[in-house]
Amino acid sequence: MVEAALTPKLRPTNVEDYEEVSFERSHDGRVAVITWNPATRMNALSVKLTDELVAAVEEAQADEQLNIVIFRGEGGYFSVGDDLNEMAEGAWGNPNQVMRRIRFYQSFAQKIEELDKITIAVAEGFVLGGGLEITMACDLVLAAESCKWGMPEVDSGMTPGWGGTTRMIRLIGRRRTKEVNLIGALHSAKRAVEWGLFNHAVPDAELDTELDRLIEALLVKNQQTLRQLKFVMNKNADADMQTALAFEAMNEFMTSAVNWDPSKMEPIPDAEPGKGLEAFATKNELWQKRRNLAITLWSDLDSLD
């Protein structure tokens, strides 16, 4: 039996340590392309590859200069999903260890979704299982027209573990998610676009050109606005309407404070930029007055002695 891989061991700490992943920056450090080229056939997601991908995503998150992160497989394939040969050999261990590994993969997908950069999956060849789950965690999916996608886990006696049901049902609805997962068929890029799983599909020969056009269109925008829009849309998708609207209103408040010309705006008369922290740091008269009035008001303490 292969040694069970519960949690990543000796994960790469910088780009020089990657063996199955490349991490390349372009556009003056504003764009990162995370590309994988494992020893597995059609870019199957082995334990080692996924550990490196998690490290690459964490490296991207730590880089404040990055605005866009692109995910792509080499050799004309995105990924056929988890390495089932590795799993059949026992690499995932006992059921509890499988649970731990799946939770680790869920965290990986969540890291992608939570990146404060725009993420783009470039879908080519086969995009199956875990490969499809990666695309669903990204903001945008640009596909080659020849791309084939699906969730074939059911025919191996398996179920998706990190988005194949949960994210998919939020993207394309209950009926279609059941069809995809219960039957396990492969589908065209055209259908993925029609159903809302992918954003756009182009002829294979035009894929790189279309990706460049998309990058150019995104880089010219106000990046703080993009970050705020992404954050709000991600959170509002799972919120009730009133909470979502309140969050949207607060986002517009933040946008005006951060992006609008301050010379054209009157200050908020009862706001006090910087004064609260200054009062705490210096323990000045404002701080003393506020704390003395509040510290035992309606408290069950008569004093602090």
Residues recognised as catalytic? 133, 153
CA distance 265 to 10: 52
Termini Cα distance of the chain? 65
- Tell which phi-psi region holds residue 2, choosing left (phi > 0), alpha (psi between -120 and 50) or beta: beta
Instruction: Mark out the alpha helices in the chain (DSSP H runs).
Output: 47-62, 84-88, 95-114, 130-137, 166-172, 174-183, 189-195, 207-219, 223-236, 241-259, 275-282, 285-294
CB 5 within 8 A of CB 47: yes
Distances (CA, A) of 73 to 6, 78, 123: 25, 4, 8
């993009």: which residue's tokens? 226
Sign of the dihedral through C-alpha 112, 79, 139, 150:
negative
Taking the C-alpha atoms of residue 89 and residue 25, their distance in angstroms, rounded to an integer, is 37
For residue 73, with 0-12 CB atoms within 10 Å meaning exposed, 13-18 middle and 19 or more buried, which class applies?
Answer: buried
